[in-house]
Structure formats: C-alpha cells, structure tokens
Amino acid sequence: MLKNIPPILSPELLKILNEMGHGDEIVLGDGNFPAASNAKRLVRCDGHGVPELLDAILRLLPLDSYVDSPLMLMQVGAGDEQPDVWKTYKEIVAKNEPGFEDKFSEIERFAFYERARSAYAIVATGETALYANIILKKGVVK
C-alpha cells in the first residue's frame, strides 16, 4: 500500500494518470457514456460516481494552465437544464486546483464523442446524473 493515495484510484487508473503527459486528456464518462466503444484505453470504475473520482484524480493530476479550457463538459441537449453535478464539479476543482473553477467549456455532444475517441483514456463510471461527462487536460507539475 501507499500513503496519501485516495483508495478510490485503482492501480490501473494510477498507472494511466502517471503515463499521461502534458496535454493528454482523460474522459470521465457517466453510466450512459459509450466508453468501451470509444476508448483507446478503458478503465472501469463501475459503482463509483464522477464527483468522487474527479476529486481523487485532481489531488494528483495537474490541470493544463496553458490552455483556456482544460475542463470540458458535454453540452446539454436543447430544452435540458444544466445538471446540478456541474456545480459540484466547480466546487471540486476550486478545492483541488484553485483558479481553474472558471476554466470549463461545453462541447456539443457528437463533438464530445469525437474528442473522447482521441483521449488518452476513458474512465467508465456508474454515475447516474445525465450530462455528467467531463474531459480533463493534463498540465505540468511546477
């Protein structure tokens, strides 16, 4: 065992986070996200929600400070309301990466899928909130 590693992060996910380089992206997909059919590298985190994983990941993963938006959300469909989970994401980001809470962007659904296909890895979660998908762009440790 290691100290100070959040137990929700599996050895496989830790390996992926460590392998990623500056500018690589990782997707945290909700339970409805087609993770297996879009992933180059798939990490299964069934039974866990995106907020818990996001919090654990951001304790270790620096966000990219060289881009305007290192945090990307799947844009909601016409007539759908912004999910409550997005507010939670902003709180998690503010806690772990102060100054990044306003660096979110929204990507149209099919463009999000396309971007996910080129991501370094996709994490499949058991998240039940709709539009809870998020892409993180890795930065550098300063």
Average pLDDT over residues 75-87: 93
- 55 assigned to active site: no
- 113 assigned to active site: yes
Residue pLDDT, tens place only, 9-56: 999 999 999 999 999 999 999 999 999 999 999 999 999 999 999 999
Average pLDDT over residues 54-75: 98
- Label the pairing between strands 134-137 and 71-74: antiparallel
Selected catalytic residue, list 64, 89, 120, 131: 64
Given a cut of 80, is residue 1 above it in pLDDT?
A: no
Domains and CATH numbers, the chain: 15-137 (3.40.1650.10)
pTM of the model: 0.96
43 contacts 9 by C-beta, under 8 angstroms: no
Task: State residue 142's pLDDT score.
Answer: 86
- 102 assigned to active site: no
Task: State residue 79's pLDDT score.
Answer: 85
Task: State residue 78's pLDDT score.
Answer: 86
Selected catalytic residue, list 22, 66, 80, 102: 22
Task: State residue 2's pLDDT score.
Answer: 82
